[in-house]
């Protein structure tokens, strides 16, 4: 069988050993060296171009059904739980905790839940309602496991590395939010980020109010493609007398976007985190669809 292996950046260091193992089993193996941002970003075109029979995608659970043979290897990581003991001091006064994590640590949720319950806490683990598949699991674009229990908890605890995933959940909830990084040995309270992102959102809206032309970003990635939304947005923009065009790419290069100097602003329909995480990389404002609609309403009220 001809197989294409695909790894996120953190697992590319293991690519060769996995390839050799599959070769020993009689497979013809290729490795994708392209970046991948999740199961929304499968190397389907690469696989078809080399005539692969299957993609083996490491590090993520299935995102949604695609018309190609894909094997998902979730890659469980047993992170040390030592930080849980240290976290008790910072979690004083919070009786009911909501626990969220990434797919790599979902199998540890029961251990985390049991620890906090043994120390007098009540623990809730929410169910996902979008692309995530398992209770407690969050993605950059699906934080349902947190949002569904927001009203029932006193605080949230994210267990895992990095801030990309917990920031997404933070912005969709209202309760105190803590991040425990078992690899860095750090616990952070993230609440201040809410105000930071709220200010940035207002800034993007204000900076777009005088825009005469807007570019609409559409990603061709399998789990991010949303041409229907882009066309709807284009119609809404043009109804307000603003020039608009749809910009298509697999991975958006911000230098290339900067070179499109005719556009005064951009709106994102791809990964929802692009506007919040990467917007500062552009000199022109990059809005989410919701920010765009708010901007258009302000323009309408001011009859711009």
Same structural domain, 60 and 98: no
pLDDT score, position 272 = 83
Could you read off the pLDDT of 57-107 as tens digits, one per residue?
A: 999 888 888 999 999 998 888 999 999 999 999 999 999 999 999 999 999
| Distance from C-alpha of 130 to C-alpha of 140, rounded to nearest angstrom | 11
| Distance from C-alpha of 96 to C-alpha of 124, rounded to nearest angstrom | 7
pLDDT score, position 153 = 98
- Domain containing residue 237: 198-302
Residue that finishes a domain, picked among 24, 49, 73: 73
Same structural domain, 164 and 110: yes
Considering its fold, how many domains does the chain have in total? 3
pLDDT score, position 303 = 62
Could you read off the pLDDT of 156-181 as tens digits, one per residue?
A: 999 999 888 999 999 999 999 999 99
Assign residue 36 a region (left: φ > 0; alpha: ψ between -120 and 50; beta: otherwise).
Answer: beta
| Distance from C-alpha of 299 to C-alpha of 304, rounded to nearest angstrom | 5
Residues 6+ positions from 114 with CB-CB distance below 8 Å: none
> Is the per-residue pLDDT at 304 higher than 60?
no
Same structural domain, 123 and 60: no
Residue that finishes a domain, picked among 40, 73, 106: 73
Least confident among 89-98, 232-241, 248-257: 248-257
Residue that finishes a domain, picked among 19, 53, 73: 73
pLDDT score, position 32 = 97
Mean pLDDT of 221-233: 95
Label residue 280 by pLDDT band (50, 70, 90). Answer: confident
CB 214, CB 236: distance < 8 Å: no
3 state SS for the chain: CEEEEECCHHHHHHHHHHHHHHHHCCCEEEECCCCCCCCCCCCHHHHHHCCCCEEEEECCCCCCCCCCCEEEECCCCCCCCHHHHHHHHHCCCCCEEEEEECHHHHHHHHHHHHHHHHCCCEEECCCCCCCCCCCCECCCCCCHHHHCCHHHCCEEEEECCCCHHHHHHHCCCCCCEEEEECCCCEEEECCHHHHHHHHHHHHHHHHHCCCCEEEEEEECCCCCCCHHHHHHHHHHHHHCCCEEEEEEECCCCHHHHHHCCCCCEEEECCCCHHHHHHHHHCCCCEECHHHHHHHHHHHHHHCC
pLDDT score, position 31 = 98
Mean pLDDT of 43-64: 94
Average pLDDT, the chain: 93
> What CATH number does the domain containing 67 carry?
3.40.50.11840
> What CATH number does the domain containing 186 carry?
3.40.50.11850
Label residue 278 by pLDDT band (50, 70, 90). Answer: confident
Q: What pTM did the predictor assign?
A: 0.86
């Amino acid at each position: 069988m001809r197989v294409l292996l695909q790894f996120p950046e953190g697992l590319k260091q293991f690519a060769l050993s996995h390839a050799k193992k599959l070769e020993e089993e009689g497979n013809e193996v290729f490795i994708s060296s392209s970046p991948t941002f999740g199961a929304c970003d499968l190397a389907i075109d690469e696989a078809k171009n080399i005539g692969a029979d299957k993609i083996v995608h490491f590090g993520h659970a299935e995102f949604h059904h695609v018309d190609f043979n894909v094997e998902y290897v979730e890659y469980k990581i047993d992170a040390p739980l030592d930080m849980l003991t240290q976290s008790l001091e910072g979690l004083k006064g919070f009786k009911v905790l909501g626990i969220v994590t990434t797919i790599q640590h979902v199998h540890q949720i029961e251990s985390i839940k049991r620890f906090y319950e043994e120390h007098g806490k009540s623990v809730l683990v929410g169910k996902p309602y979008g692309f995530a598949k398992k209770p407690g699991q969050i993605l950059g674009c699906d934080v349902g496991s947190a949002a569904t229990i927001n009203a029932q908890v006193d605080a949230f605890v994210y267990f895992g590395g990095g801030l990309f995933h917990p920031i997404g959940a933070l912005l969709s909830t209202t309760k105190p939010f803590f991040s425990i990084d078992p690899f860095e040995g750090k616990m952070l309270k993230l609440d201040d980020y809410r105000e930071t992102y709220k200010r940035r959102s207002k800034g993007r809206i204000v900076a777009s109010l005088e825009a005469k032309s807007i570019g609409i970003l559409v990603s061709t990635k399998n789990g991010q493609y949303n041409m229907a939304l882009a066309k709807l947005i284009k119609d809404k923009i043009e109804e307000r007398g603003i020039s608009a065009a749809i910009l298509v790419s697999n991975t958006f290069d911000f230098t290339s976007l900067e070179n499109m100097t005719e556009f005064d602003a951009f709106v994102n329909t791809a990964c929802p985190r692009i506007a919040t995480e990467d917007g500062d990389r552009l000199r022109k404002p990059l809005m989410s669809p919701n920010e765009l609609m708010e901007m258009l309403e302000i323009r309408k009220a001011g009859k711009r």
